[in-house]
Chains A and B, each alone.
Chain A
Amino acid sequence: MVLLSAPRWLRSRLTDRFWRVQEVLKYARHFRGRKNRCYKLAVRSVRRAFVRSTKARREKKRFLRALWITRIEAASLEHGLKYPAFISNLFKSQVELNRKMIADLAIYEPKTFKSLAALAQRRRQEGFLAALGDGKEPEGIFSRVVHHY
């Protein structure tokens, strides 16, 4: 005898509800309050936690760069240079270390950082001299500076 449709007492019931719930609760075990035990509250908290972690992965890069810049600024002020002067002169002398490296060197290799600061200071002075020029006046001008004889 072939049954063309399933009888009414045959139902497909969910058997692994426990494990489906545990999958979500395992991410909430370290939360505070009832959201580490109750599924309904945990689902919302876990969802927010995941979304926040995805967004934080993008912000982490910005945050770390700001941290490195702060550290480099502190270290270069110890050697008498401000951060913009230090970084710009270092790039002008073709040293292409990124901020993470310079911050690590400032922490773990103080002598190397001192030499980098000296390099930047020297390049800065050379830049000033190059900008000031020879001190001569351009041609065709009658007189620009009053000379006292």
Chain B
Amino acid sequence: VAKTSLTSPPWPEVKLPDPVEEAKYHAEVVQKVNKMIATGQYGRLFAVVHFASKQWKITSEDLIMMDNVLEAECGDRIRMEKVLLVGADDFTLIGRPLLGKDLVRVEATVIEKTESWPKINMRFWKRHNYQRKKIITNPQTVLRINTIEIFPCLV
């Protein structure tokens, strides 16, 4: 039968690769990455961590400032548990949505607990003799990320 414009659907045909072959390939890749982690062939690790209702992209030895109070004294070591992504130069581990606690370990220390610079909140309605001025200082906490470690327990 002759091919017309309506024989095949107008969207491009999508073919997925063979599931068996794909499973083999996936297992191979996972083994390779596991070996790399076990032998320690990665340079600097970066992680995406969900902390204080924000997501941060962190590496070791960098500073983070949160705009709220943390119930820990200065000098306390903290382990951040909600890790979304960990990556190095050659591989990345993407969590769905979080990575396991036995896979990544992110340690941080509380360095400083201060207040922010005085921010000015002003409201003014013209011709109504209404103005209010308020000075707000938010409490802030500064954390230093000490280490990010990964362990070779990929399946």
A binding-site residues for B, Cβ under 8 Å? 47-48, 50-51, 53-54, 57, 93-98, 100-101, 104-105, 108-109, 111-112, 115-116, 119, 125-126, 128-129, 148
Contacts of B43 in A (CB 8 A): none
Closest residue of A by beta carbon distance from B98: A96
Closest residue of A by beta carbon distance from B14: A125
Does the CB pair B94–A116 fall under 8 Å? yes
Does the CB pair B84–A148 fall under 8 Å? no
Annotate B88-123 by CB proximity to A: 1 below 8 A, 0 otherwise.
010010111100000000000000000000011111
B binding-site residues for A, Cβ under 8 Å? 1, 11, 14, 16, 46, 48, 55, 57, 84-85, 87, 89, 92, 94-97, 119-124, 131, 133
Does the CB pair B96–A100 fall under 8 Å? no
Closest residue of B by beta carbon distance from A94: B96
Does the CB pair B14–A94 fall under 8 Å? no
CA distance A49 to B92 in the complex (A): 46
CA distance A105 to B94 in the complex (A): 12
CA distance A142 to B3 in the complex (A): 25
Q: Looking at chain B's contact residues, is the secondary structure mostly helix, strand, loop, or mixed?
A: strand
Does the CB pair A101–B55 fall under 8 Å? yes
**Could you write out 11 A-B pairs with CB less than 8 Å apart?**
A47-B122, A50-B120, A51-B122, A53-B122, A54-B121, A54-B122, A95-B84, A97-B84, A111-B92, A112-B85, A126-B16
Does the CB pair B92–A98 fall under 8 Å? no
CA distance A48 to B122 in the complex (A): 9
Closest residue of B by beta carbon distance from A122: B16
Provided the pairs A98-B55, A109-B87 are in contact, do residues A54 and B123 lie with their beta carbons within 8 angstroms?
yes
CA distance A46 to B12 in the complex (A): 61
Does the CB pair A115–B16 fall under 8 Å? no
Contacts of A129 in B (CB 8 A): 14, 16
What distance in Å separates the Cβ of A86 from its nearest Cβ neighbour in chain B? Answer: 14
CA distance A97 to B14 in the complex (A): 27
Contacts of A105 in B (CB 8 A): 48, 57, 85
Q: Give the residue of B57, B95, B119, B124 whose beta carbon is less than 8 angstroms from that of A51.
A: B124
Does the CB pair B122–A95 fall under 8 Å? no
Does the CB pair B96–A95 fall under 8 Å? yes
Contacts of A93 in B (CB 8 A): 96
What distance in Å separates the Cβ of A11 from its nearest Cβ neighbour in chain B? Answer: 28
Closest residue of A by beta carbon distance from B97: A96
Contacts of B48 in A (CB 8 A): 97, 101, 105
Provided the pairs A50-B133, A94-B97, A104-B57 are in contact, do residues A125 and B123 lie with their beta carbons within 8 angstroms?
no
Does the CB pair B124–A100 fall under 8 Å? no
